[in-house]
Amino acid sequence: MALDQDILKLGATMLGGGAAGAVITAVVTSYRNRIQPVRYRIKTTPVFAKAPKSSTLETVVTIKENGKEYGFASLYLTELTIVNSGNQNAKEFTMGITMGETSRIVNAHCESPDRHHRGDQLDPLSPAQPKQAVDFRLIPFNRKDTYLFHLLSTCTGDFEPDGIKLSSSEAVRFLPRFDIGETLGRSAGEIILEVLKQSISVRFK
């Protein structure tokens, strides 16, 4: 922070007048146009865990849908919370949730904050055909908007759900919700230095 302040003072001294205003504009524009951060938090809880290998019992949990029953050796509930922590509003936002190689999603649901928000599931899911990934469209996804996803999944073998990945075609970066190392883009000092370099190169041509 001290280094950024020193560079800001140096930039203002060297540029002065209208050039200083151009630098401030460049800083603000860079901040607004940076890749937008989306914070997330994931919590997975066993609903029904597979019996240990040493057991002679074979345990299975049954899910009924439309009168048909489906058996699973394990079930896990994953709660995923995402927050638009950027500085831009989005009329809609499409994102994907991909489980690890050994996990399959049996059911998914998006809980919107109120009746003026909604999360549409774009891929059908059912106990008959569990999938590794599911996509959602959030309408809208404004600054500070929070959506909660409930994912019911099963795993093969003795594995538990892990390696959950979030993705989107939008210019966003998914970051752990409480990661104090989150960066908001380039520092002011870096932007000032770049503007100074461009200004000097133009002057000496």
Q: How does pLDDT run across 33-84, given as a tens digit for each residue?
A: 568 999 999 999 988 876 666 566 777 888 888 899 999 888 999 999 999 9
CATH 2.60.40 residue ranges of the chain are 37-176
Distance between start and end Cα atoms, the chain: 33
Phi/psi class of residue 67: alpha, beta or left (left: φ > 0; alpha: ψ in -120 to 50)? Answer: left
The domain defined by 37-176 folds into Immunoglobulin-like (2.60.40)
pLDDT for 185 equals 44
Pick the closest to residue 153 from 102, 105, 110 (CA basis).
105
| C-alpha closest to that of 45 among 179, 153, 126 | 153
Please state the rounded mean pLDDT for residues 141-158. 91
* DSSP β-bridge partners for residue 65: 68
- Cis peptide bond prior to 140, omega within 30° of 0: yes
